[in-house]
């Protein structure tokens, strides 16, 4: 305001009303000038704060087999994907081993953290489970000639073909990697030397499962199925 008419107001610094303000503090300065050349200024600030959390998505859990007496196996995995409403986020690994490292036998948890420029953070985790590969066992005394599981890995049905040199009743059992029985045992009647058994694994978690063929309380054959 002025005691005489004709004063004008001009914005010297900052952004006009209705503009999109960036993160941080913006100073707006206005100057008023009357017809006599007298001036006055007014200053105020607009502060924009980012409170929205960034997002991060990790790959799924991984199961990798270890052959023989190796101390571990190299595992390559996809790096997590991050996103934020503003540019400038950083992703760091806070737990586990980098992609391409030698992972030891057992479960390794890998955790990643995303942080944006405003200090907001989020994290995700996945596991790498290294399991010992099981070598099929087939003694000289048992009647099993060959056992083939296909497809392997599988997502729904697995067909196990069994050839023996004599007619013999056998039992097929499926276990998880912790030795827990999965489902009910399947009885195979010794009416043929060639049998094809189907196992539905569609409801099982991804991972490695062990199946055994036994007769008269003796395990004749052991191998693995991978559920993908």
Separation CA 162–CA 146 (nearest Å): 6
> How many Cα neighbours within 13 Å face the side chain of 141?
4
- Please provide residue 206's backbone torsions phi and psi, each rounded to the nearest 5 degrees: -60, 140
Strand partners, 64: 130
Domains observed in the chain: 8-48 (no CATH), 55-132 (2.60.40.10), 144-227 (2.60.40.1930)
What is the C-alpha separation between 23 and 228, in angstroms, rounded?
Answer: 45
| Distance of alpha carbon 158 from alpha carbon 151, whole angstroms | 6
Predicted confidence pLDDT, tens digits, the chain (228 residues): 667 787 888 999 999 999 998 888 999 999 998 888 888 999 999 998 888 899 999 988 888 877 666 678 888 888 899 999 888 899 999 999 999 888 998 899 999 999 998 899 999 999 998 887 655 554 445 566 678 888 888 889 999 888 887 777 889 999 988 788 898 888 988 777 788 889 999 999 888 888 888 888 888 888 888 888
């Amino acid at each position: 305001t002025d005691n005489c008419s004709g004063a004008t107001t001009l914005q010297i610094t900052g952004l006009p009303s209705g503009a999109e303000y960036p993160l941080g503090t913006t100073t707006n300065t206005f100057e008023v000038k009357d017809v006599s050349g007298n001036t006055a200024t007014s200053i105020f600030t607009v502060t924009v704060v980012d409170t929205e959390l960034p997002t991060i998505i990790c790959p799924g859990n991984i199961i990798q087999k270890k052959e023989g007496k190796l101390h571990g196996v190299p595992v390559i995995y996809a790096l997590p994907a991050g996103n934020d409403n503003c540019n400038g986020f950083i992703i760091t690994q806070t737990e586990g081993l980098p992609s391409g490292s030698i992972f030891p036998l057992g479960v390794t948890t890998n955790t990643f953290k995303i942080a944006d420029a405003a200090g907001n953070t989020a994290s995700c985790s996945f596991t790498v489970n290294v399991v010992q590969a099981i070598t099929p066992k087939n003694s000289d005394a048992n009647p099993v000639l060959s056992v083939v599981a296909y497809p392997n890995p599988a997502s729904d049905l697995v067909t196990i073909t069994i050839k023996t040199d004599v007619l013999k009743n056998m039992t097929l059992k499926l276990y998880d990697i912790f030795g827990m029985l999965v489902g009910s045992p399947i009885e195979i009647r010794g009416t043929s030397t060639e049998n094809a058994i189907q196992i539905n694994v569609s409801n099982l978690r991804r991972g490695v499962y062990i199946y055994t063929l036994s007769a008269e309380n003796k395990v004749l054959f052991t191998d693995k199925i991978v559920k993908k």
